[in-house]
Amino acid sequence: MKLRRIAIIAILLFVLAFASFSTLGQEPFLFRAVQEFNAAFMRESVPAFTAEEAQSIALEVIPLVEQITGKKFKQIPEIAIVNRSQVISVLRSESTSDKNLPQSDGDVDYTSIATGLLGMYGKYDKTLYLLPGNLPPIMGFFGTSILHTEPLTKLVIAHELTHALQDQEVDLARFLTVTNSDKLHAFSATFEGHAVFIHDQVGRILGIDETLIELSKILSSKEPTMYENPLLRRDRMAQNKLHDLIYWGGRDFIDYHFQRGGNALLWEILSNQIGRAHV
């Protein structure tokens, strides 16, 4: 795959990754500080890959995701290459259907969310969205070599394809009428942990262990301390703890149960998460 060499600027989720830069409920100062950080360090770059390259990678990764999860796609999700403005439109559209998302732009900084996304699965339109313009700045922020661009893209696509399979098997939208925050965190940890667990296995099969380390560094959300203001630093630390609990705690939970019951047990747990959400 002919990936462009692009100037990488300092930055970041997700994510897969700085979506936690959402400023929900923060003081006006923190809201402005995060916006200024985004503007200074997170400028959208020339896309790191094309739609054709993403499709080619997906064709390589799909059989691996199916093999590892023990499930087959009934229908391969459409893959859409988008920029931040386009994904903001998707987020706004989803917010009108999802009780758990804020219902107005005044409640959330969509720009900050879009700044940190590498990919997302649209639970209502069943589309896998990729943001190749976010990858170079995120890699630059964490000092990740451009040699990891293609393997990182494979891991991101594997992660989002796992969400597509989850949706196929248990219908993720059924859960999204729940508003209890504890249940939402448990749900997120289970399903994000499963996606991390699967993309880890894909990476090992492909022999890209070093790239897995780089992605772990990105997903750890433990970016260098660049916040001089203690309020912003404290807020970010709290977000980091929740983020790590969802991604890494969730992955360890999934791995624990996989060792005891394999995929059969994992899919039972995933299905039961949906059931419990309505108890």
Higher pLDDT, 274 or 271: 271
* Tens digit of each residue's pLDDT (9 = 90 or more) over 201-248: 999 999 999 999 999 888 875 554 444 555 555 555 656 677 788 888
- Alpha carbon distance 25, 31 (integer Å): 9
Of 118, 206, 122, 219, the C-alpha closest to 163 is 122
Give the gyration radius of the chain's Cα atoms: 18
**78 bridge partner residues:** 127
pLDDT at 244: 82
**24-57 burial, b if ≥16 CB within 10 A, otherwise e?**
eebeeebeebbbebbeebbebbebbbeeebbeeb
Of 209, 189, 187, 185, the C-alpha closest to 199 is 209
- Alpha carbon distance 187, 15 (integer Å): 16
**pLDDT above 50: residue 5:** no
Which residues lie below 8 Å from residue 161, measured CB to CB, with a gap of 6+? 58, 61, 62, 65, 77, 128
What are the phi and psi torsion angles at 143 (to 5°)?
A: 70, 30
The Cα diameter of the chain in Å comes to 51
DSSP state of 170: H
pLDDT at 60: 98
Of 112, 144, 137, the C-alpha closest to 43 is 137
Extract the tokens encoding 264.
């059969």
The answer to whether 102 and 10 have CB atoms below 8 angstroms apart is no
* Tens digit of each residue's pLDDT (9 = 90 or more) over 76-119: 999 999 999 999 999 888 876 655 544 444 445 788 788 889 99
Using CA of residue 26, residue 32, residue 38, residue 41, what is the dihedral sign? negative
pLDDT at 233: 55
pTM, rounded to two decimals? 0.80
Q: What percent of the chain has pLDDT over 90?
A: 50
Average pLDDT for the chain: 79
Ramachandran region of residue 240, left (φ > 0), alpha (ψ -120 to 50) or beta? alpha
**pLDDT above 70: residue 173:** yes
The answer to whether 198 and 69 have CB atoms below 8 angstroms apart is yes
Q: At 150, which amino acid appears?
A: E
In this prediction, residue 19 has a pLDDT band, given cuts at 50, 70 and 90, of very low
Please list the alpha-helical segments (H only) found in the chain.
28-41, 51-69, 84-95, 110-116, 135-141, 149-170, 181-206, 209-219, 230-244, 250-276
The answer to whether 188 and 163 have CB atoms below 8 angstroms apart is no
Q: At 23, which amino acid appears?
A: T
The answer to whether 94 and 9 have CB atoms below 8 angstroms apart is no
